[in-house]
Amino acid sequence: MITKLIERNTPEYLDKFILETAESENGQNFYRYEAKDGKVCLQADCAVSMAVGYFAFLRDWCGGEFTADHALFTRGFALPKKPKSVVIAAKYRTCMEDTFFSCGACWWDWERWEKEIDYMAMNGVNLPLCAVGSEAVWFRTMVDAGMSEALALTEISGPSYWGWQLSNCFDGCVPQIRKETVEARIVLGRRIFEREKELGMTPILHAFSGYVTRLYIKAKLRARLIKTDAWCKFGEQYQVWTRDPSFMRIASAYLKNQSLLIGDSDFYMADPFYAHAPAKKGDAYLAGLGTAILHAMTAHNENAVWVMHASSAKPAMLKSLDAERLLVLCDDPQDVPDGVPYILTTRYNGCGVTALHGDMTALSAREAAQNGGLCRGVGACTDGSGSNECFSRFAYSTLSEPQEPAVWMKQHLKNRWNTADDLTAIVSGLLATCYRADQPRRESGSVICARPSLAPNHTAVGDAGCDVGYDNQTLFDAVKQMLTVRAQGYEYELDVCDCLRQALSNRAGELCQAALSGFKNKNVEQFETNTNAFLQLIEDLDRLLLTKKEFALPYYLEQARNFGSTDDEKQNFEINQLAQITLFGPVRDNDLYDCCWKEWGGLLKTFYLMRWRALFEYLAVSFKKRLPERTKEQSLGRDAFLGSDFNRQLAQLERNWVSEYAPEYDMVAKEDTLTVAKELMEKYNA
């Protein structure tokens, strides 16, 4: 299979390699490469290790890197001048979260997935999460249970929401409307699964966590159910009582259908408490649930291992289970019950937000090199695709070997930008700002994308707040240096666009706070000057982002429309995309607005600008009044969606936008990125 991987990615180099499989001396994965008889002799213990060695050689000697959509490119072939040998310390290397499959990747076709799978292999992933087609598995399982196809279809959340349903957050959110589209996912899901297996990976599939929905009752299907708390104002769900025969019947049917439709594996994800507290108090209930979930897995596959996130790993639930049948994904080992094996992951860009953020120093120092013990591996678990590419590439690169941030970034940018220039100042600037040490795990929010108020403190639930925590001038200086580099290529322009986006977003925060302070201090000039500057910056940033499709809303809406087969379905998928990145849901009243915020061209000027202009107009007519900075009602640390008269008016504007937005497709990539970037640097880098 590695020969085919090489042929797919660098067919011109196919005859340049000697591929040899060798046994590991200590049971660990490894690769080594060296020049031999005018070719590159590549040795490794398995297919994934061979793929890692293949890319490592191309990166080290041929300027190898990846495009924005993870296609491999090189700058020319050269034999290695010295050999390299690497032992891959981590037994398991995983990637992605359930939400990854709804934040951009939901619109991918096989051509895009094929690149992603090769990308995973070349970065050492051997335990990938595999979720495409799971919606068809659940649909088939509910029909088998006795639910009508029409009712079962309304249970299947749309593509932009299915990832959250996999984590038992809700069901039927902006649901699918065609059975044919759901079942078509089987073909793609099986193809992804089989390619991952061919490359030597062991995919993580899903299993039944015990939840059914109110539709189970509506279908008059018999089971003993325990009602759970609704998640963030979504509809209620029910936990099937573990001693009820329906629990094992549903769990077994799901695994059987998955095996028939997609394939089978030894690792199964089940997260009963990712979104919900236990449906019943007491250790006995937790122990019974844990036993039931694992029993269903092992009854289907005697080698089954139950994979879960730390939020689901309740000690009482796991205490009586065989620890070797368990694997917890965690950011911190202290969150894992004693004696339970874990994979130390790095979760970043929650819900696919566009922030440049991440502690590279902490990532390079994690327990990837530990042998033995309870740490069984490492992970790079992003929630979305297409954002924060530098940190994402670094996270993936550390799966197979330790990396020093400054050294790695310098080589990464040299290869990516095809430049021989000294990048020291740029690397230092990025490591002192976006990727500095000792920063919060969660990214900072964007004031532009924060729901307007007199005290915007968080954009999304749980983010680090709207204060980025570093000197933004240092980031501007790094962007200025970028614009002087003798570089070329699409990825160079994309990185300039993204870094300038972050610097301008930070500057917008300063202008916004100055405008709001002007209102609070009743300083008319300060209020008007900074309000106008803030709104103008949003327009300017929108213009910059439209120069690249990766930061343009019309591009993603076109993908969503192309995913549909009928006019109704195309419109449904458009609503999926628009609602997810703005209101999220439920539409009438919700706690999760802006959780998937994006600084995208076409979105800033029509949605975020509209919201902020509405607030400033409201403040202007109330200038002599003293208004409360926060609404009386709070939800998850932010103003309640309907917490004031202004918020209720804003909610209607937002709903109208979701239903009426018309993308301007011809505006994407109309201007040159570097020309616009230089113009905005002169304007805002004071």
Q: Which of 2, 83, 77 is nearest to 35 (CA)?
A: 83
CA of residue 186 relative to chain centroid, distance: 22
Q: Which of 536, 460, 535, 549 is nearest to 232 (CA)?
A: 460
The one-letter code for the residue type at 97 is E
User: What pLDDT is attached to residue 372?
Assistant: 58
Spatial separation of the C-alpha atoms in residues 587 and 590, rounded to whole Å:
7
193 three-class SS: helix
Q: What is the mean pLDDT of the chain?
A: 95
Spatial separation of the C-alpha atoms in residues 625 and 564, rounded to whole Å:
50
The one-letter code for the residue type at 623 is F
Phi-psi region of 593 (alpha: psi -120 to 50; beta: other; left: phi over 0): beta
What does the pLDDT look like over 366-423, one tens digit per residue? 754 454 589 999 999 988 888 899 999 999 999 999 999 999 999 999 999 999 999 9
The helix/strand count (H/E) of the chain reads as 23, 19
278 three-class SS: coil
Contacts of 446 (CB under 8 A, 6+ apart): 353, 354, 355, 459, 466, 505, 508, 509, 597, 599
What value does the mean pLDDT take over residues 489-494?
96
pLDDT at position 65 over 50: yes
The CA-based angle 622-627-629, given to 5 degrees, is 135
What does the pLDDT look like over 291-350, one tens digit per residue? 999 999 999 999 999 999 999 999 999 999 999 999 999 999 999 999 999 999 998 999
User: What pLDDT is attached to residue 368?
Assistant: 47
592 three-class SS: coil
DSSP state of 674: H
What does the pLDDT look like over 626-678, one tens digit per residue? 999 889 888 898 999 999 999 999 999 999 999 999 999 999 999 999 999 99
User: What pLDDT is attached to residue 307?
Assistant: 98
What does the pLDDT look like over 74-110, one tens digit per residue? 999 999 999 999 999 999 999 999 999 999 899 999 9
Spatial separation of the C-alpha atoms in residues 409 and 397, rounded to whole Å:
11
How many residues belong to the chain?
Answer: 686
Spatial separation of the C-alpha atoms in residues 119 and 100, rounded to whole Å:
15
Max CA separation in the chain (angstroms): 83
Task: Count CB-CB contacts under 10 A for residue 128.
Answer: 24
531 three-class SS: helix
Per-residue confidence band for 8, with pLDDT thresholds at 50, 70 and 90: very high
First to last CA, the chain: 54
User: What pLDDT is attached to residue 608?
Assistant: 98
Spatial separation of the C-alpha atoms in residues 589 and 593, rounded to whole Å:
9
User: What pLDDT is attached to residue 387?
Assistant: 87
User: What pLDDT is attached to residue 599?
Assistant: 98
Task: Count CB-CB contacts under 10 A for residue 75.
Answer: 15
**Poorest-pLDDT segment among 20-34, 44-58, 413-427, 559-573:** 20-34
Q: Are 380 and 395 in contact (CB under 8 A)?
A: yes
CA of residue 595 relative to chain centroid, distance: 12
User: What pLDDT is attached to residue 488?
Assistant: 85
Q: Are 558 and 549 in contact (CB under 8 A)?
A: no
- Higher-pLDDT residue of 235, 528: 528
Q: Are 159 and 576 in contact (CB under 8 A)?
A: yes
Spatial separation of the C-alpha atoms in residues 464 and 440, rounded to whole Å:
6
Q: Are 202 and 121 in contact (CB under 8 A)?
A: no
Contacts of 32 (CB under 8 A, 6+ apart): 42, 43, 44, 53, 83, 84, 85, 86
pLDDT at position 232 over 90: yes
For the chain, domains (ranges, CATH) are 2-88 (3.30.379.10), 439-684 (1.20.120.670)
What does the pLDDT look like over 519-559, one tens digit per residue? 999 999 999 999 999 999 999 999 999 999 999 999 999 99
User: What pLDDT is attached to residue 367?
Assistant: 55
User: What pLDDT is attached to residue 229?
Assistant: 86
User: Could you write out the DSSP letters of every residue in 503-530?
Assistant: HHHHHHHHHHHHHHHHHHTT-HHHHHHH
Q: Which residues of 630-639 are buried (b: 16+ CB within 10 A; e: fewer)?
A: ebeeebeebb
Spatial separation of the C-alpha atoms in residues 47 and 28, rounded to whole Å:
13
- Residue labelled with tokens 């590549």: 42
Tell me whether the omega of the peptide bond preceding residue 440 falls within 30 degrees of 0, making it cis.
no
pTM of the model: 0.96
87 three-class SS: strand
4 three-class SS: helix
What does the pLDDT look like over 139-192, one tens digit per residue? 999 999 999 999 999 999 999 999 999 999 999 999 999 999 999 999 999 999
User: What pLDDT is attached to residue 155?
Assistant: 94
Backbone φ, ψ for residue 79 (5° rounding) = -70, 145
- Higher-pLDDT residue of 214, 121: 121
Which two three-digit tokens encode residue 333?
């080992």
What value does the mean pLDDT take over residues 475-479?
98
User: What pLDDT is attached to residue 369?
Assistant: 43
Backbone φ, ψ for residue 239 (5° rounding) = -95, 125
